[in-house]
Amino acid sequence: MKRVRMLLRVSSNQQLEADGDLSVQRQLVKDYIFSQSDWQLDEKEYFEGSNSGYKNAVADRNILQEALQDAKAKEYDILVVYKDDRIGRRMWEIGAYVMSLKSFGVDIYTVKDGCISPESDDIMGQMMLALRYGNAQKSSSDTGMRVKDTAQKLVQKGKFMGGKAPYGYKLELSGEVSKHGRALHHLVVVPEQAEVVKYIYELSLHKEFGAAKIARILNEHEVYKNRAPRDVWKCGTIVSILTNPIYAGYTAYKRRERIDGRYHKLESRDWVYAEKPDPEITIIDENVWNRTQDTRKQRGDKYIKSPENKDGTIIRRNSGMLALIDVLHCGYCGRKMTNGSRYNYWTIKDTGERRTSKIAIYKCQNAWSGVPHNKTSQYRADQIEPMVFEALAEYIGKLQENENVFTQIEENQNRQKVIKQSELDREQSELKNIQNKIAVMESNIPNAMTGDYPLSLEELADIIRKHRELEKKHKRIVEEKEAELDAMKVSMDDWENIRSRIPTWQDVFWNADTTTKRVLVDKLIERIDITRDNINIRFKINLNDFFTLPRITDYHDVPE
């Protein structure tokens, strides 16, 4: 008796219903298996739920990989599917997969066509196999285009084309049934959420608040903070609500497009809109919605240098990168500060000359995203950097006064270096082992091409590809470990250089460019945490081991 397993796949959630495609598919496959006198159905069943056989590669489909590994382990002899497209719809990949199963002694049968696995020496059969899945791939491509064209026409007529309901709505059964017998849903307004949507548009249009500020207001509101779609309001959610025409009653299509396996947002001019609004789902008046789009665009444009300013004299208070950008953290939430610099524009009345200046600012990423943050969230660079630079000069000066400090630092660092070196050696050894395996497999490619190797050429190529990815991963780890080893200590040369420059330390910071300042900061500082009242500097060398004086100078309040 031949051991038989069946593979079932459905490409949508609707097919998972009890009376949907899945139950019918399973019964047809079982009937076919029971009609074969020398077949015995195994208790294990392979099932893929809501997974496209056209969009997803074989390597990314865990069920197919599991069936392949079980075949390699000689657990069964025949795999039965309802139709050949249940295996997949990718011409080259599925053909190679069928032949991989064949190499392990497993044939694929379909209820419709019987055995579809050609022998390894049947070139014509393999060509027909490729043609079979080539037609399946083309059919899926053609279907996809028809679905898109149909969806576009339906959206233009005001139909909602499925998916997750936007904030402010829920999905309910419409009472309509598709030609495939599936119950259709439609959007229904959720009153308490619609109230929040109206408030968001009011803040944007009449208060001219940005998305981040609106998110903060909602997160601080006693009622609205509990109505956030994912526990907390964020600026991305606000932007989505403010730009979705569904709130004006217009369904839209092609707001994003799948390219190379990833979705990309499209410009609003490329969207497909309903020809007229649906009053049943309208939350925001169409005039209000359009005015909101205009004001948001104008508000965004004013931060972009307009064409008439192209010849203006640029006055910058900070040219280049912020010196503390890699080490400065918000002292309230711990999030790394990011660049929040902004521009000011003005015109000289007497000459008409257009001018602009840049104010360099560090801002907290959490607060910028609208996460609740009731403390100071941004600081001007020209007010906090001098404090840090002065502290650096003060503490390095103390190091110079103690001749034995560097010896003790070096001893501490050498102990850490041994640990880091051991970690690096281990990763380098693993990397070399992977590279040796790749070399062995690549040397056997000619044997795989002639059939004198246990694995087929496709299988060998797939394993080599996976090992190449593993090699890249370990190379990155090795590079990181090497960088950590280099950066963990202040070397003797660094120390002597620092000692020689201490007399002119103030000049180094006050007169050097931002890049030089940033290098010096990264060399000596591990982390800085800033609040309105304090700047806490954590040095890479532990100065507390050598000095009893306090490390933080009292600078009183830190200017916002």
- pLDDT tens-digit profile of 402-428? 656 666 666 776 777 888 888 889 999
Domains and CATH numbers, the chain: 2-151 (3.40.50.1390), 169-297 (3.90.1750.20), 307-380 (no CATH), 381-560 (no CATH)
> Average pLDDT of each block of 10 consecutive residues along the chain (560 residues)?
89 46 82 92 85 66 89 93 79 80 91 86 75 66 56 56 81 71 78 94 85 90 90 90 88 60 59 76 90 79 48 39 84 86 76 76 82 78 85 69 62 78 90 91 83 82 88 88 69 55 52 67 82 86 42 42
pTM: 0.41
- Tell me how far CA of residue 439 lies from CA of 76, 395, 429, 445, 450, in angstroms: 33, 53, 15, 10, 19
pLDDT of residue 410: 66
Q: Is 258 helix (H, G, I), strand (E, B) or coil?
A: strand
pLDDT of residue 315: 36
- Tell me how far CA of residue 81 lies from CA of 78, 107, 111, in angstroms: 10, 11, 7
For β-strands 39-48 and 78-81, DSSP reports them as unpaired
Would you put residue 77 in left (φ > 0), alpha (ψ -120 to 50) or beta? alpha
Instruction: At 383, list the tokens.
Output: 């007010």
CA separation for the pair 144, 136 (Å, rounded): 12
For β-strands 2-9 and 78-81, DSSP reports them as parallel
Residue pair 185/173 in contact (Cβ under 8 Å)? The answer is: yes
pLDDT of residue 304: 47
> What residue type is assigned to position 49 of the chain?
G
Angle 141-145-151 from CA coordinates, rounded to 5°: 140
Cα atoms in the Cβ-side hemisphere of radius 13 Å centred on 495: 16
Q: Other CB atoms closer than 10 Å to residue 545's CB: what's the count?
A: 10
Instruction: At 313, list the tokens.
Output: 């004299």
- Summarised one tens digit per residue, pLDDT across range 36-91 is 999 999 989 998 876 565 566 777 788 889 999 999 999 999 999 988 777 877 76
For β-strands 337-339 and 262-265, DSSP reports them as unpaired
- Tell me how far CA of residue 352 lies from CA of 303, 304, 347, 378, 549, in angstroms: 20, 20, 6, 33, 56
- Tell me how far CA of residue 458 lies from CA of 59, 69, 448, 467, in angstroms: 12, 15, 9, 14
Listed residue (182, 187, 163) closest to 14, CA to CA:
182
Q: Is 29 helix (H, G, I), strand (E, B) or coil?
A: helix
pLDDT of residue 36: 92
Maximum pairwise Cα distance, the chain: 101
DSSP 403: T
Taking the mean position of all CA atoms in its chain, how far away is CA 515? 30
Which helix (H) or strand (E) segment holds residue 175: the answer is strand 169-177
pLDDT of residue 142: 58
Which helix (H) or strand (E) segment holds residue 262: the answer is strand 262-265
Residue pair 368/345 in contact (Cβ under 8 Å)? The answer is: no
CA separation for the pair 209, 197 (Å, rounded): 14
pLDDT of residue 156: 55
Instruction: At 206, list the tokens.
Output: 């009449």
Taking the mean position of all CA atoms in its chain, how far away is CA 274? 31
Instruction: At 444, list the tokens.
Output: 């056997």
CA separation for the pair 258, 197 (Å, rounded): 28
How would DSSP label each residue in 197-215?
Answer: HHHHHHHHHTS---HHHHH
Listed residue (315, 328, 326) closest to 387, CA to CA:
328
pLDDT of residue 98: 86
CA separation for the pair 487, 482 (Å, rounded): 9
Phi, psi of 538 (to 5 degrees): -110, 110
Residue pair 398/445 in contact (Cβ under 8 Å)? The answer is: no
CA separation for the pair 423, 428 (Å, rounded): 9
